[in-house]
């Protein structure tokens, strides 16, 4: 089977993580931490997850012209991602996230978006050649909203369905002009509450929140519910697709893996429920491992657990 073409637009960050006894207070220097770096950023995580799940992925992103950008690019190439539409910004550093993780599991994260914040609508238009023939456009909210909207418009022009993962949680409701261009909106519980005004605590409230989002113009809503799975809702169908039981080690990028895998499964022609089952399995595998991109599973692993 030829791999379906998936277009991802979004962010790339280098996560720099220090694990230490507790989170340092302002003005304090704390010794004794352990340092690791990991490739992250929601856009990059979703692009890598889609590529490993079986997609022929092209990624639109802006990286700095620095060491972190070089490393990110090398990672995308290793995952056989089409890097022709990746831009390098000579004036702005690559995105980074500085993360403290305390012994208690509590964390504190500061993100400098850097080049991600400079991905423009003009950049999207310059990448128009990537749209025709793509089976899905996958986006998140770590890049500027006008850029996301411009890409959704181009997707519409070329008949490409848009999957929007509204993460991180936006500070206000999304413009109806954008939501009307979205085929599938994939918030988690917090994001669904922010966008709909309805607190998601169980299946009934998930349905209510999803319904409110449909009324804002989206075609299909999938609310991810952590270990419980995902709630699917549109004009034709509504219900919970249960998650896979696994021993959770690190839930970082569970949602990203879910979105990347979902896009591939839909692009291959699975119906929504089957595609969510596939995405639940991919995301469940990712929570059994540490890190963002390192935890995204290969197609063979997803198929083995899907049986």
Judge whether 15 counts as a catalytic residue. no
Assess 167 for contact with ligand ADP (CB under 6 A).
Answer: yes
Task: Give me the helices (H) in the chain, please.
Answer: 42-53, 67-78, 121-126, 145-157, 176-179, 189-196, 203-215, 254-267, 272-287, 299-306
- Is residue 109 close enough to count as binding ligand ADP by CB under 6 A? no
Residues 6 or more apart from 89 whose CB is under 8 A from it? 62, 63, 64, 65, 114, 115, 118
The mark string for 178-197 relative to ligand ADP (x by CB under 6 A, - otherwise) is ----------x---------
d(CA 37, CA 120): 28
Q: Which of 287, 292, 296, 302 binds ligand ADP (CB under 6 A)?
A: 287
Q: How far is the CB of 175 from ligand ADP (least distance, A)?
A: 22
Of 144, 226, 232, 161, nearest to 188 by C-alpha is: 226
Residues in contact with ligand ADP, shown as a per-residue x/- string from 208 to 227 under the rule CB under 6 A: ----------------xxxx
Q: How far is it, in rounded angstroms, from Cα 294 to Cα 39?
A: 8
Residue 2 Cβ vs ligand ADP, minimum distance, rounded to whole Å = 27
Restricting to residues 223-282, name those near ligand ADP by CB under 6 A.
Answer: 224-227, 229-230, 243-244, 246, 248, 251, 254-255, 258, 280
Integer Cα distance of 131 and 286 in angstroms: 29
Binding site for ligand ADP (CB under 6 A): 167, 188, 224-227, 229-230, 243-244, 246, 248, 251, 254-255, 258, 280, 283-284, 287
Query: Which sequence positions are flagged as catalytic?
Result: 256
């Amino acid at each position: 089977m030829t791999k379906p073409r998936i277009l991802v637009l979004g962010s790339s960050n280098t996560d720099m993580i220090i694990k230490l006894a507790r989170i340092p207070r302002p003005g304090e220097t704390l010794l004794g931490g352990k340092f690791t770096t990991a490739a992250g950023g929601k856009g990059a995580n979703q692009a890598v997850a889609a590529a490993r799940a079986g997609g022929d992925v092209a990624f639109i992103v802006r990286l700095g012209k620095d060491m972190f950008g070089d490393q990110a690019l090398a990672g995308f190439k290793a995952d056989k991602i089409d890097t022709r539409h990746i831009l390098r910004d000579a004036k702005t550093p690559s995105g980074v996230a500085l993360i403290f993780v305390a012994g208690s599991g509590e964390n504190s994260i500061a993100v400098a978006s850097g080049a991600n914040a400079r991905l423009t609508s003009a950049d999207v238009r310059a990448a128009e050649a990537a749209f025709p023939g793509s089976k899905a456009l996958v986006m998140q909210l770590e890049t500027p909203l006008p850029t996301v909207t411009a890409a959704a418009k181009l997707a519409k022009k070329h008949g490409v369905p848009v999957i929007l993962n509204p993460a991180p949680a936006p500070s206000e409701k999304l413009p109806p002009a954008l939501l009307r261009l979205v085929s599938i909106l994939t918030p988690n519980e917090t994001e669904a509450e922010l966008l709909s005004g309805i607190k998601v605590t169980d299946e009934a409230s998930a349905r209510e929140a999803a319904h409110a989002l449909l009324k804002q113009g989206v075609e299909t809503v999938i609310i991810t519910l952590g270990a419980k799975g995902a709630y699917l809702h549109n004009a034709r169908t509504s219900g919970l697709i249960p998650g896979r039981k696994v021993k959770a080690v690190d839930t970082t990028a569970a949602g990203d893996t879910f979105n990347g895998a979902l896009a591939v499964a839909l692009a291959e022609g699975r119906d929504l429920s089957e595609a969510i089952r596939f995405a639940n399995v991919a995301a469940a595998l990712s929570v059994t491992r540490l890190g963002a991109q390192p935890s995204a599973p290969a197609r063979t692993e997803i198929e083995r657990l899907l049986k």
